[in-house]
Amino acid sequence: MKRRTRILVVGASVLIGVFALMQLVPYRISNGPVTAEPKWDSPQTRALVVAACYDCHSNQTKTPWYGKIAPVSWWLKGHVDDGRAAVNYSEWNKPQRKAQKSARAVQQGSMPPSYYTWFGLHSKAKLTAAQRAALVAGLIKTLGG
């Protein structure tokens, strides 16, 4: 075997080994119980919030298949933990420190994040202008702000 080929084989083997070992780190998303939800102004608002926000801002996260593979699982867990810390629509009986900023975040386009719908994933969260306006209006009626 040529030296260059041997280096490539060893390098690939090390990368595969590291990737396999990464899977042993149990850093995955877990869903707690739903203890309380906001009193939504309409079923339409709730449906839009579920489609666009619940995967990061509730205890009803649906993890895609690739979200169970490290290091993606680590990134997703951190993202969901941050989202739930800001607003968790499944634990409305607890203080939600940024709830009133939700409508503004949707209106400004920072929520849901653009990367959330890349590659056609989470297509329900890709809001039309009309859906975005309805979500903003519903969040204001429901949460204030």
pLDDT in single tens digits along all 145 residues of the chain = 688 888 888 889 988 888 888 788 777 889 999 999 999 999 999 999 999 999 999 999 988 888 888 998 998 899 999 999 999 999 999 999 899 899 999 999 888 887 776 655 566 677 889 999 999 999 999 998 6
Residue 18 confidence (pLDDT): 86
Residue 122 confidence (pLDDT): 60
Please say whether the beta carbons of 90 and 32 come within 8 A: yes
Residue 112 is encoded by which pair of tokens? Answer: 């849901």
**Cα–Cα distance measured from residue 93 to residue 37, given in angstroms and rounded to the nearest whole number:** 8
User: What predicted TM-score, i.e. pTM, was given to this entire model?
Assistant: 0.80
Positive or negative, the Cα torsion across 44, 144, 115, 15? negative
Residue 133 confidence (pLDDT): 96
Residue 104 is encoded by which pair of tokens? Answer: 């503004």
DSSP notation for 60-107: -----GGGGSTTHHHHHHHHHHHHHHH--TTBTTS--TTGGGHHHHHH
